[in-house]
Structures are given as C-alpha cells and as structure tokens.
Structure 1
Amino acid sequence: MSAGLIDVHAHWLPSDLFGLPSGSPYGAMRDQDGELFLGDLPLSIRTEAMSDVNAIIADMDAHEISLRAVSPPPFAFAVNSSSENYVEDYNASLSKVVAESSGRLAGLGLTRLDDESSAVRQVAGIAKAGVLAGVAIPPLLRGESLDTGVLRSVLESAAEHRLAVLVHPMQLPRPEWSSHYLANLIGNPVETATAVAAGILGGVLEELPDLRICFVHGGGCAPALLGRWSHAWHARADVRAGSSSDPRELFRSAYFDTVTHDQNTLDLLAAHAGQDRILCGTDYPFDMAESNLPAFVDKGGLDRAALQRSGQTFLGLARDRRGHDD
C-alpha cells in the first residue's frame, strides 16, 4: 500500500444513543437479533457495524484504510428540538473513542440545529476541546439551506475555528419518492446539490475562504448541473446577486467524496473540482456504502498520495503537524 486511505465519510453511533434526539421524525433505532432497525424499518446493517469500534477498525484493516472520520448517522441530527443533552453526550462519546483509537479514528460531531447562538457556542466548544476534527450537518433545515439561518451560522463558526464540516443528506420523504427507495436514490443527491448551489450562489463559499467543507456522495447531482448554474449566473442578475464569481470557480473551493458508484461520474467530478478536492469516502456501514474503496480508487485512476494529502488537509491534520494548512 503506497499511501494509507483516509475515509472521511463513515458513521458511528453508540448503542446507548440509539434512542435518537427528542422529536426525531424517524423513531428510535433498535437492535433486533443483531440487526439494526430504525423504528420498524430494517436498515440491512449488523448492529455491531454501527456501534462497535472494533468492527469499524476491522473493516478499515480489510480495506487498506489507515484513518476513518466517523460522524453520526443523519437521523441523529437534532433537527426538531434543542436536544442539548443528546448532542453533548454524542460528542463526549465520540471524543472518547477518537482519543482511545491510537490515531485510527477522527470525529465529526453534532451541534444543536434549533438555535444559532447555541450552535455557534457548541462549535467553539468542540474547537477548544481539540479532539474532534469538526462537525456534520444536514444540507437542508426547515426550508433553508447553507446560505441562511442556523446552517450558515455553523459554517461561519467552523471557518472561524478552523474546523471541518461534512454535509450529509437526511433522506427527507416526499410522496413521489415513497417507493423504489427513491427518497435515497433521488432525494439524497438532490438535497446535496441544493446545498452546493446555496453555498455557491448564496456567497457562502466566497465569503468563507478558510472553510473546509465536504459534500458527500460526490456532491450529489451538482457536478452534472454545474454548467447550467454557470450559464444562469451569466444570464440572470438574480442568480449572480449573491456571489461575484462564476459557479465553476467556486465549486473548486469545496471538497467532495468518492461515493459516486460510477467511474464516469467520478471522472466528471474530478474534472470540475480538481483532484486535490476529492476525498475518499465509503458511507460505512450503510447499504449504499462503497464496499471496496481501494479497488474503486485505483480503477478511477486517483492518486493515493494526493487523496491522503487532501484527507489530512480537510481534517486539519496537516495544520496540526506544521502549524498551518497545506
């Protein structure tokens, strides 16, 4: 192995927090005969894969992953209530497993999503503690995205405190996506593309040049829409009102993971973003995870050393070792 792979997109939730934040729209998670359920919905995941650090490390060893950044599954986002205790308990548990992992794990924690000042305070607390690499947030929140409200405040605070941000969709239900797993297959990429567009056209990526933000699932359908956004930015005053740079330029200021399930899509993403903005991701342990990361990376012609450098930079490890970012 010429360079250890750094997986920035994987999930972990301890079993004592399977109850999820109060007001969760999905119902609690639970174990049933070793299989994980979300309410009455089977997740097709062994319970230990989500909750057991030893199982996570074993999966890493089997797939040439030297470092894995774990974050909460998206249904653990505290979207409908303060859930102060749940957020603090998760971050404390995550900090503990990261500290005890001998450098194998990094962590992306939670913030409250109901109150801007509380969210900003929690981001500052994570930075002060110095254990977690950043936070994970949803792309959409109560009809808003990254350019307004709580989500924008979290991004501003993360940039100020030099923390990484992982943007992960929540598989929000819509009637037309109620069958064929379309809430995931279409909904997740659309949620993410909406957040990318809000970050670009809303001026967030332009105004926060120090922000290290990663959009998972290869940016959703954003790479395929970037040309349309660019055309509209030049053609319409309302589209360019919030930013002063072509979307094609601002796209290269974000990071995107490799979870695209398709080499042509990965090629398109790399062409738009540049290889230094591509990060390894697996989506472990979900059913939509990339099961063989090394093979996918190598088949796609991605340079492992470049992926490692980008992963270290995103997680703040390059800065920690030399006192500044790459």
Structure 2
Amino acid sequence: MTDPRPGVTDVHAHILLPSLHAEIERRAPEGVRAAAALELVRNGAESLQVSGPMVGSRIPKLTDVSVRLAEMDRQGVDRQWVSASPNHFYPWADEELAVWAARESNRLIATHIGLAPERLTGLGLVPLQHPERIVECLEDAVLGHGLVGVEISSFAGDVELSDPRLEPFWARASELGAIVFLHPFGCSLDERLDRFYLSNTVGQPAENAVALSHLIFAGVLDRHPGLRLVAAHGGGYLPTAIGRSDHAWRVRPEAHGCAHAPSTYLRKIFFDTVVHDTVGLRRLVETVGASQVVLGSDFPFDMGLEDPVGFVRSARLPAEVVARVLSRNADALVARVEVPA
C-alpha cells in the first residue's frame, strides 16, 4: 500500500491477540480468574464497566490490519510500532506458561505486521517475572521474528527494573540495539486508585516514574549506555519532578547508585508524546531534549491521542523539533536494530 503522508512514525500503538488469550484461559483458568479479581481491586467496578465496552468497540482496530491502516491514513501516520496490549503481559504466569506466551506473542505480532511490512513495525514480549528466561525471549523476538525490540512492564511480581537478575537482559538488548518499550500494566497502589479512573490517570504516570527511577538510581544506564529505552506516557511524573531526584542524589548516600545526577539520564531515554497537553509537551522537550521525544498515540484506546500529529503540530515547537518528533528520532532508533536479513 502506498502511503499518502510519508514521514510520520507512531511508536505507541497496540494490538490484541485473542487466540493467545483464549489459550491462556484454557491452560490456566485459575490464574486468569485471579488476575481478573486483582483488576477489580485495582480499577474498581465502575471503571471496568466502562472499559469493557470501550475496548470491545475498538477490537477491529486492534486486530484487523486493513482497519488499522485506514485509521493510520486518517491520522496522517506513515508507520506504527505495534506492541501488545499490556493485558497480555501475564505477570502471574509460571515459567513454562510465561515463556510460551511471550514466544507466541512474538509470532502473532510478526504475523500481523507481516501483512503490511512497509507500514508496521513490531515489538515483542518477554516474561519479566522470570529473568532467567528473558534473554531467550528477547532473541526470539528480534532474531527469530525480526521485531525491533520488546515491550516490558514497570515491574512483575518481585522483579523491579533495578533487579540484578535483569543484567543479562539489559546487556543483550544493548548488544542487539533492541528497543525496550516501557509500558506499565497495573499500579502497585492497588485499591487506593479504585475510583475516578485514578488507576490510569494517576497509576500509569506513577508507575512510569517509579520504574525509570529504579533504572536510573541503580546505575543500569551507567552499565549499559547503549540501552535504547522508550518510555510510554511521556515518562509519567519523572521528567516534571526530576529536580527532587537530583536533590536526593546530592544529599542522600543511599540515592547515589548512579554516577551522575538523575536528570542527566533523561537525555539518554526516549519519551513518547502521550502527555495530553501542549504545555506538558513543550516542557518535556525542554527537559529531555528534542532528540529524545518520539510521537506516540496509545492507539486506539480512549486515553490515547485521537489526533497525535495535530497535537504535536499545535504545541508551537520549532519546525526542526517537530520533524524530529514526528519521524526522525524514531526512525534513527529503528535503523540501529540488528534484525536478521
């Protein structure tokens, strides 16, 4: 298909994998029920009653390539990075099931993007809660299926992103030039956010900030300077409150696990534009640098940007910055991934 509006890349767009979830339900019905119960605790009944029909109405956009491409044309998007909806993370799954789910996700995502390879780029999954198996699933995604990287959550069970057991994963991702897309699923504040949709409006940006802080303060980015990390939702609260992190780094010895002030590392991380107001977008560019911001929409969910390109263009950013955000930064990231021929 010939793209009528070349040069725009959306790094934050999702896919649903119904066949995968059906098999998970068949193999582990008790786990699925427990996960649903946790979702009720975290989100509250009112939000779940709204979210169900919202997602249901968007299933064609999440599963049908022709519908996806038509929506991309409508939005003026040339290419999407397609990643699994975070409900496919299955952080409760045991090792065997989690590895199978990650590999099957990689296969299904590769199949989906293979229907329009000139316009779709894929990100796979890894079983974050099983660090000893994560490298093989990363390699399955990138080397086995030609995906440009993987999507991970902000934590899984007892595994934080600062966990030493993840060191081989960060090292291999850096070696491959693989993109690691950080997208939280659920918030550990649980029932404190079970009303007013706080589970998303507060929970997602809080989880982004916590996860990125684990990476920064633990020195992960010092040890793996080539890591290509993209944070969803503009990195959450961290870029707007990074001064507090810098102050802690200066005055608290236990916050001195990184070599430099935390704000330094924001210019080594990439952040999408799903921040919902133009003032926030301008501040994000000012804080992290024009080279570190990439277009994102959270397609096709209701908390995403319906007009992601228009949003960026309305922020009164310099033309050179707009060009970087809409395509150049993301395209440069993909160009360095060592995918098989």
Identify the TM-score tier after normalising by the shorter chain.
0.7 to 0.9
Q: Name the structure 1 match of 2:290.
A: 275
- For 1:237, the aligned partner's letter is P
State whether residues 218 and 256 of structure 1, in contact with CA within 8 Å, keep that contact through their aligned partners in structure 2.
yes
The alignment status of 1:116 with 2:134, answered yes or no, reads: no
Q: Distance in 2 between matches of 1:156 and 1:131?
A: 19
Deviations 1:59-88 (A, max 9, x none): 111111111001111111031123232222
- The structure with the largest helix share of the pair is 2
8 Å contact kept, 1:78–1:87: no
Gaps of 5+ in 2: 38-46
How far apart are the structure 1 equivalents of 2:23 and 2:283? 37
After superposition, residues 282-297 of structure 1 pair within 5 angstroms as: 282-297=297-312
User: What are the ranges of 5 or more consecutive residues in structure 1 without an aligned counterpart?
Assistant: 28-36, 322-326
Q: 1:218: Cα distance to partner?
A: 0.4
Matched, 1:201 2:217: yes
The number of residue pairs the alignment matches comes to: 312
Asked if 2 retains the 8 angstrom alpha-carbon contact of 1:109 and 1:134, the reply is yes
2:52 is aligned with what amino acid? P
Deviation at 1:296, TM superposition (A): 0.4
Equivalent position of 2:330 in the other structure:
311
- Check if 1:62 corresponds to 2:62: no
Cα distance in 1 for partners of 2:5, 2:15 equals 27
Change (3 A) 1:161 1:320: closer
Change (3 A) 1:53 1:2: closer
Amino acid at match of 1:68: Q
User: Pick from 11, 16, 21: which aligns with 2:19?
Assistant: 16
Cα deviation for residue 53 of structure 1 reads 1.5
User: For the residues of structure 2 that align with 1:187 and 1:149, how far apart are their CA atoms?
Assistant: 25
In structure 2, give the amino acid aligned to 1:12.
Answer: I
The answer as to whether partners of 1:98 and 1:131 remain within 8 angstroms in 2 is: no
Are the equivalent residues in 2 in contact too, given 1:7–1:282 (CA < 8 A)?
yes
Q: Distance in 2 between matches of 1:74 and 1:285?
A: 13
Indicate the percent of aligned positions where both proteins have the same amino acid: 28
Q: Which residue of 1 aligns with 2:92?
A: 80
Q: Matches of 1:256 and 1:283 in 2, distance apart? A: 13
The answer (yes or no) to whether the contact 2:121–2:147 under 8 Å persists in 1 is yes
Q: Give the Å deviation of 1:305.
A: 2.5
CA contact (8 A) 2:127 2:134 kept: yes
| Residue in structure 2 matched with residue 225 of structure 1 by the alignment | 241
Corresponding residue for residue 253 of structure 1: 268
With 278-287 and 139-148 compared, the bigger mean Cα shift is at 139-148
One-letter code aligned to 2:114: A
Q: Secondary structure at the match of 2:156?
A: coil
The equivalent position to 1:97 in structure 2, one of 102, 112, 116, is 112
Q: Is contact 1:168–1:192 with CA below 8 Å preserved after alignment?
A: yes
Under a length normalisation based on structure 1, what TM-score does the superposition of the two structures give?
A: 0.88
**Aligned counterpart in structure 2 of residue 42 of structure 1, from 44, 47, 52:** 52
